[in-house]
């Protein structure tokens, strides 16, 4: 029997043996028997030295081809064995992939979410509708329709994250008020909760991403007294007690007159801490009567309609209610902290 015939015989044996492997360990053993350093195919190739140059080329090429074919057979057999193993395991074992294995601890609502739901319940009990809006807004909805001039500082990159297409990440949920003004027929009362973004220097009371609930009431003969009463009802419900507040004059392009509603710091009791910047007070809610220009920009007659608007920072309200000293804890993802709530 010459070397070429011997190679054919070895290939037939290897093909049959490898194809009948019962598991991957058996496959590796059979592969090594023919393709290993001391395998049968390797041993045959050691006899090439006794052949002529032409025979060496012919037999050597044939040996390489057979070796490649056997490697492909090994690979295909390995895949078949894996598929067979999975199939047999699935027939013997069954489990719901969507169901956690063993005991699992149920999740809880984030403290900001809890406060948001509480406030939504309070406002809906007073006849408010809950509105939503996109986090990516147009410049007009975020600024222009709210009476911001083209050169207003809030449009600057130091305050606002602009996108390449000219849109931006909303800096407040006031854009939801704009959408309501255009779609609802007065009178109406709405709130718009959501996440907002600003290019802030992060510290104990400032974050680049935080949550707000902004609201608006539009009707006949709405006054600052209506606004203040609504805010006091809200805060007394949230804190379950009377809370000391104060109104300061402020400036916001979309309201006139404009106010800053401050709350006595509930973390330090008014004695001064890092949260309130040692003033004893925390700015909680810009508010005021809707500016006539906002009505005009959104298709309403300011001689016929009046209203008030406000913006409430949910993060700061959570800090006040639970005595949290640093806003960064709320967005840290620290489960040891979050499980307290």
Provide the annotated binding site for Mg(2+): 256
Q: Is the dihedral of CA 247, 250, 252, 258 positive or negative?
A: positive
Say how many C-beta atoms besides its own lie within 10 A of residue 221's C-beta.
7
For helices 314-322 and 111-125, angle between their N-to-C axes, nearest 10 degrees: 100
Q: Tell me the DSSP string of 239-293.
A: HTS---EEEEEEEETTEEEEEEEEEE-TTTTTS--TTTTTSSEEEEEEEEEEPHH
- In the numeric block, which tokens belong to residue 51? 């052949």
Binding-site sequence positions? 256
Cβ(161)–Cβ(199) under 8 Å? yes
Which residue carries 């007659």 as its tokens?
A: 301
- In the numeric block, which tokens belong to residue 205? 């009371």
Cβ(237)–Cβ(274) under 8 Å? no
- Inter-CA distances, 220 with 25, 145, 188, 233, Å: 85, 21, 10, 21
Cβ(300)–Cβ(212) under 8 Å? no
């Amino acid at each position: 029997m010459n070397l070429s015939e011997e190679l054919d015989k070895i290939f037939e044996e290897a093909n049959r043996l490898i194809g009948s492997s019962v598991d991957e360990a058996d496959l590796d053993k059979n592969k090594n028997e023919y393709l290993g350093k001391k395998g049968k195919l390797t041993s045959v190739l050691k006899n090439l030295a006794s052949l002529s140059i032409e025979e060496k080329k012919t037999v050597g090429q044939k040996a390489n081809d057979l070796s490649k074919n056997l490697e492909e057979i090994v690979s295909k057999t390995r895949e078949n064995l894996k598929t067979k193993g999975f199939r047999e395991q699935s027939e013997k074992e069954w489990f719901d992939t969507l169901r956690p294995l063993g005991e699992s601890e149920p999740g809880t609502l984030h403290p900001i979410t809890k406060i948001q739901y509480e406030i939504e319940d309070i406002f809906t009990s007073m006849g408010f509708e809950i509105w939503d809006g996109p986090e990516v807004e147009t410049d007009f909805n975020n600024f222009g329709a709210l009476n911001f001039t083209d050169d207003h500082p809030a449009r600057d990159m130091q305050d606002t994250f602009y996108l390449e297409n000219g849109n931006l990440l909303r800096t407040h949920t006031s854009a939801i008020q704009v959408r309501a003004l255009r779609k609802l027929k007065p009178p109406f009362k709405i709130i718009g909760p959501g996440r907002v973004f600003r290019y802030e220097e992060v510290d104990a009371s400032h974050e680049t991403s935080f949550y707000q609930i902004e609201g608006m009431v539009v009707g006949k003969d709405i006054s600052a007294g209506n606004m203040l009463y609504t805010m006091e009802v809200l805060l007394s419900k949230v804190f379950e007690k009377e809370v000391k507040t104060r109104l300061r004059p402020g400036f916001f392009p979309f309201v006139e007159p404009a106010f800053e509603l401050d709350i006595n710091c509930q973390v330090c009791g008014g004695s001064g801490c890092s949260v309130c910047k040692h003033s004893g007070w925390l700015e909680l809610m810009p508010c005021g009567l809707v500016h006539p220009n906002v009505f005009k920009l959104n298709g309403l007659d300011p001689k016929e309609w009046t209203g008030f608007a406000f913006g409430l920072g949910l993060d700061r309200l959570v800090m006040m209610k639970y005595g949290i000293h640093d806003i960064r804890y709320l967005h840290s993802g620290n489960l040891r902290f979050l499980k307290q709530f």
